[in-house]
Every structure is written in C-alpha cells, then in structure tokens.
Structure 1
Amino acid sequence: MSLNAHIFHDDETNSPKVAGTLRDVTEKRNNEKLLVEAKLLAENASRTKSEFLSNVSHELRTPLNLVLGYSDILLEGDANSLTEKQRKYVEAIKTGGTRLLDQVNSLIYISEIETGSAKFEPTVFFVPELISDIKRITGSIAFKKRIAIEFNIESNIREVYADVSKFKTILHHLITNAIKFTPDDGRVSVNMCLDNEHNLQVTVKDTGIGIAEEDMNKLFKPFVQLDGSINRKYGGTGLGLSLVKELVEMHGGTIAVKSKVGEGSDFTFVIPFRNPVSHN
C-alpha cells in the first residue's frame, strides 16, 4: 500500500486536519519485479550465448588452422607434386577455409566484446608490412573478379601505434566487403592519410552496387543483412560491418559511409594518430 497525506487548516472549525490518499500498489510492485527478473534472464541468456559462441569458435579455429596450414604446404611445394586439377581442389579448400576462419574470428571478437573480455593491446607496427599482408590476403579474391585494388598511403605514415590485430581486421573486412559487392572488372581503392586534426583517416572506396539511403541505419547492426536476395547472391552473415564499428570505437574512433545505388560506396574510419616514437 502507498499512503500520501498532508496537514491543512480548516477555516470553519479553526483547527488543523489531515487529508490523504491510500493506494494499492501491489500490481505495480509485481510488474516491477517481473521487469527486473526478465532483465536478469535476458542478460544471463546473452552471456550464455556469447560464452557458447566463443567456446565453439575457439574449438573450430584450431582444426581450421591445420587445414589452412597443410593447404599452404601443398601449394608451396614442388610445382610438379600436384596436377592442375589437384592444385585447383587445394586452392578451393584454402579459399573456403579462409572464409570460414574469418567468420570464426569475427564470432570470437563479437563474443569477447559482448562479455566485456575484449582486450585493447596497442603496439607500434610498420604500415608497409601490414599493407603487404592485406594485399596477399585479398589479392586472390580480387583476381578472380578481375578487380583492381589500389593502395594510396601518405609517405609520412610509416609507423602506427594501434592494436595491429584489430586494425588489420578492420581493413580486411572493409576491403573484402568492397570486393564482394563490386561487379567484375570494377575498382577498389584504399586511401590512408592524416586529416586536419592529425587523426589517421582511412577510406575504402569501391565501384560496387551501392547502398540505398533507407538501408544506412541497418549497416552496422550484427547479424543483419540488408536484403535476403543480396545475402543469397553474395553470401555473408552480417557480422563484418558491426564488428568493424566495434573495433574502430575500441581505438577511440568513428566510422562513416557515403553511398549511391549503382555507383559504389566510401567507408571512412578515423582514429587518433598517436605518435609511434613516444611508444617505442
């Protein structure tokens, strides 16, 4: 029960009196209790889901690394050790395994972010080496679609102080996404520079199918595909861009997109450019 009372002066009797209201708040308290219980159940379910995804993903990553490792050994061996058909099969295994490993790693990152266990581990790394790795990883995908990838890195950007693993994941997802949604014989460019406020600005531009204005607000939501038919044609789980946004924000940065249907998209992320010299 809830009681509200106040004292007032009765002019007719010239004496103080008390007026009040008595309300039954049992239903309100019960509803509040149900809301708290529902919130706790939802948080527990989310935590259980994240832990399950993380455990399964880690279990998948070990055998996948073995598959990819032995695929590399076969492909890098004696040129005459595999027939042309066998080499084609091994390349298909490596391509499929690499795609699956990317998804597994994305699930692990998402799970760690949701459970609060994700660690930000910045270090100084050499930009040309990272770009070389990115070219090697994305080159074969672009080659199959005859897509030209151009990297434009300002000469004064040689070293960067950031979480190299997460920075590489951001670039990898944005570039492979650009390749995936760009028709054959298209173009993808990666531009890295310092903006007017001395932040590191990276733009991945493509000549792809573009994104409708009404779909912009769905881009960075996890497990969301903009269109079912697009999902069937291009594949994917809808994890890439949501993960990219989380990783950019872990660096204290922001990400934005400009796009026009039929003309392509520009994804730009900006993170603080910390002086590498002071961190060596």
Structure 2
Amino acid sequence: MLRELRKKLIRHYSGSFFITLVVVLSVLFLFVKNMLYATATEDINDILHYEKKKITGEEQMVPFTKEKDRDRGRKHAHLYYVEVIKNGKATELPRGHIARSKEEQAFRAFAESQSCCQKQGGTDEWKEKDGREEHFVYASLPLSSDSFLIVGKDISSVHEKVEHWFFVLALIGMGALVLSVIMGDRLARKAMKPIIRNVESQKAFVADASHELRTPLSIFSASLEVLAQEEKETLSEFSKETLTEMQEEVRQMSTLVDRLLLSAKMEEGGVALHKEVFSLRALIGQVLANYEKKEKHTRLHFTCDDNDFAIEADVMRMKELLYILIDNSLKYSNDSEPVTLSLTYNGGHRITLAVRDRGPGITEENLPFLFDRFYRAEKGRSKKTGGVGLGLAIAKAIVDQHGGKLSVQSTVGEGTTFTVQLVGLR
C-alpha cells in the first residue's frame, strides 16, 4: 500500500512540475518565434511599400553612383527579391534592383504561381538542387487591374534560429524530465515520512493488540465449551441460546484477531509460504464439504472440467483465500440466491477461479478501494455481514504472494464476480 502511494505521489509531483515547465518553455518558444517572424513580416511590408513607391514614381530612383549606395544595393540583393506580375507573367525587374540570379529565378517561378494580394506577409519555402531549403516571407500589392507587385525576403537564417531555439528547449525539456522525477521522488519521500510513522505505529498496535487478545479469547472460549458440556442439562432454553450466541461471538472475535495478526505479518512480509503441489479442484471440494456440514451447501455450485488443476502453492493460504471469497459472497447475497464457483484454464498454464454471486452489487466508485485494509463498501454493519474490511485485503495479499492476480467485476442490481488467476502445472 505504501509503495503504491509513493508511486502515485512521485507521478503527481513529477507530472505537475514537468507540465508546468513544458508550458513555460512552450510559451517562451512561441514568444521568441512570433517575435522573429513578426520582425521579418514588418520588414517585408516596409520593403513592399518602398518598392511600390519606386515603381509608381513616388520615390525617386537614383543610380548607385556612390560606393555607399552600391554597397546598399549589394546588401539588399541578398535580403529581398522583387517581381512585377502582369497577366500571370513576370515583367522586367525595376531599374536599380540587384538580385542573385538563381534565387531570383526560384522566386520568380513562385511569384508567377501566386495571385494578388498578400498584404500582411506570408511564408513559404523551396528546395535547391542540393536539397537545401530556402525559407522566405513575401507580400504583394496591386499596381493596376492586371498587374501586382510581389516582394520576398530570405528568412532562412531566422528559420535556422527558430530550429536551433527549439532544439535547445527540447534538450532543456529532457533535462527537466529527469529533474522532475528526482524532485518528485524527494518530495514524495518527504510527504511519506509522517504517513510511514503513522502506519508503522498502527501496525505495531494491531500486532500487539492481536497477541494480547488471543490468550484471553482462548480462555474465554474454553470456559464456554466447558460450561456448555457440564451444565447443558441444567440450563434453560434461554440460557442455552445465550450460550450459543456467546460462543458464536467469541468465534467471530477469534477470527478477527487472527486476521488482524495475519494482515500485520503480511504487511511486514513475515508470512513464509510452504509451497507444495496439489489439486486446486480437490481443495475446493474439501472446502465445499465443510460448508455442507454448516447447511450452506444448497447455495454453493461448483463447475469445472475433468482436469486436476494442479498448482504449486501454500495449501493453508489457498484454503484461507477460498473461505474469504466464499464467505464474502454468501454474506452479501440473499439466502435464496446461489453462489457459483468455476475453475477453468485460461490459455496455457493460467488457471482462472471465479466466485460469482447475485447480490446487490458494488458501486463503481467503491471498486478501486475494495482490497484496501479496513475498507467496507457498506458503511453500516449488520449482524449478517459483520466484518471490518480485512478479508479481501488478506485475499489480495495471498494472491499477490503466489504471483497471481485478484480482480473484481460488479454490476449494481446483478451481482459481483471475484476472479483469481494463478499459474498452473498443466
């Protein structure tokens, strides 16, 4: 139980820390990415309006006569491309514009495939013959009814920066995952300390109380047996009935104490298994024969095929498991409803034991906690059901010790089925 709780706490703390960090890194990545692309989009819009003014004559075009102007022209040649598209075909470039022929041809082919107008700036890419990708942002404006201006800017370096930024954040995320697990484990250890102390105190109390109660209960039970034997002729009917009820209560109390002690030992791993090979089918027959003596045999039905269903297990623990499951089904079903046991092979060496009743069933919200110690789906106690929620917890521990699996399926109003899966020796 504590191991499962610790795992849940680690998953909770680690998951919360990691998700928070992933959200922060994602927001940071999107912020930087949008900022870089927004800058490129703003630049391409400025270039678009500048080139339109040059073509329409609003901006005076001066030849690159000075060295500074020629440098500016060469710089712009590497930064953006300009095309005028008329009736779907590119016209001559505006006078004074310098461009690299290979990239200009690729952009010209792209521009001829576009329609006016992308005013806010869009992004696209093309591949060079060597497989290298070129990324660019473009925008366009109409010049006349049959022509428009389109400009593009190479943003491959910006795209590389975004990819590099994503790679860096991915590495940080992987490191954060490891860090979140370490942090989750430390936080879980810290949170578990008071729980472990309380559970250990509870275990010690249960074990000590069980030991202390066994002796007086044994003496009390023996005294009642002597009284029943020696004074049975002189006791009235009311006294005999009272004596019988006292013996039944002592028996139930002894069973409770034994189960408390067994549960405490199992929690500490102090119950050793004495395994031997035997027939599970024959053991079920013996248990049902004991119920037959108690006049409950009319409600118990057992079905299986001709196999012996040989297993290697602890006979006493398996018998305890059967008593717990059968008692539970008998308690929580009507006296007129049958309890069915079935034994089958479920693929290869897997043996499946199913105990089914037609009782009121268990609600879905109670099913996950059914095998916890001291948990009862029915909060109120009655004389018929009794119990304190230890039986199924012990049954689960027995099955786990044998490397098996205990599960439950239930439908409200239809009944409950407990299924035990064990490894057979077929």
Please give the TM-score of this superposition, normalised by the length of structure 2. Answer: 0.48
In the alignment, the residues of structure 2 paired with residue 192 and residue 206 of structure 1 have an alpha-carbon distance, to the nearest angstrom, of: 15
Bigger CA radius of gyration: 2
Partner of 1:95: 248
Distance in structure 1 (CA, Å) of the matches to 2:347 and 2:272: 30
In the alignment, is residue 241 of structure 1 matched against residue 392 of structure 2? yes
What displacement does 1:252 show?
0.2
**1:10-53 Cα distance to aligned partner (Å, 9 max, x none):** xxxxxxxxxxxxxxxxxxxxxx9998676445434422321221
Give the C-alpha shift of residue 58 in structure 1. 2.5
Kindly tell me: are residues 71 and 156 of structure 1, through their superposed partners in 2, closer, same or farther at Cα, counting changes over 3 Å?
farther
Match of residue 264 from structure 1: 415
Q: Is the 8 A contact 2:309 2:425 kept in 1?
A: no
Question: Superposed, which structure 2 residues align to 1:1-280 within 5 Å?
Answer: 39-68=192-221, 85=238, 87-125=240-278, 127=280, 128=282, 131-133=285-287, 135-136=289-290, 140=294, 142=296, 148-157=299-308, 160-229=311-380, 231-232=381-382, 234-274=385-425
SS in 2 for 1:162: strand
AA aligned to 1:119 is A
Structure with larger RCO (C-alpha < 8 A, sep 6+) = 1
Q: Distance in 2 between matches of 1:172 and 1:60?
A: 23
**Conserved? CA contact 1:47–1:115, under 8 Å:** no
- Partners of 2:412 and 2:253 in 1: how far apart? 29
d(CA) in 2 for partners of 1:45, 1:53: 12
| Contact 1:150 1:189 (8 Å CA) reproduced | yes
Q: Give 1:251's aligned amino acid.
A: H
Secondary structure at the residue paired with 1:49? helix
Q: Deviations over 1:53-109 (max 9, x none)?
A: 1122133234434555666678799x9797655553443233322322222122112
Q: Which amino acid aligns with 1:249?
A: D
SS in structure 1 at match of 2:366: helix
**Pairwise CA RMSD:** 3.5
Unaligned runs of 5+ in 1: 1-31, 276-280
Q: Compare 154-163 and 53-62 and name the one that shifted more.
A: 154-163
Number of paired residues? Answer: 240
- Give the counterpart letter for 1:222 in structure 2: R
The amino acid across from 1:140 in the alignment is K
Shift in Å, 1:131: 3.6
Q: Separation in 2 of the partners of 1:214 and 1:241?
A: 17
Aligned to 1:213, the other structure's residue is in SS state coil
1:9 aligns with none
Letter in structure 1 aligned against 2:410: S
Taking the aligned partners of 1:119 and 1:223, their CA distance within structure 2 comes to 23
Q: Which residue of 2 aligns with 1:4?
A: none
Assess if the C-alpha contact under 8 Å between 2:228 and 2:243 holds in 1.
yes
- Give the 3 Å change call, closer, same or farther, for CA 80–201 of structure 1 in structure 2: farther
For 2:234 and 2:306, the matched residues in 1 are separated by: 43
State the SS of the aligned residue for 2:395: helix
Q: Which amino acid aligns with 2:209?
A: V
Q: What is the alpha-carbon distance in structure 1 between the residues aligned to residue 360 and residue 251 of structure 2?
A: 24
Structure 2 counterpart of 1:100, which letter?
M
Q: From the superposition, tell whether residues 158 and 62 of structure 1 become closer, same or farther in structure 2 (CA, over 3 Å).
A: farther
After superposition, the Cα gap between the structure-2 partners of 1:69 and 1:169, relative to the gap in structure 1 and judged at 3 Å, is farther
**Aligned in 2, Cα 1:36/1:252: closer, same or farther, shift over 3 Å?**
closer
Counterpart residue type for residue 302 of structure 2: F
Q: Aligned AA for 2:201?
A: T
User: Secondary structure, in 3 states, of the residue corresponding to 1:244?
Assistant: helix
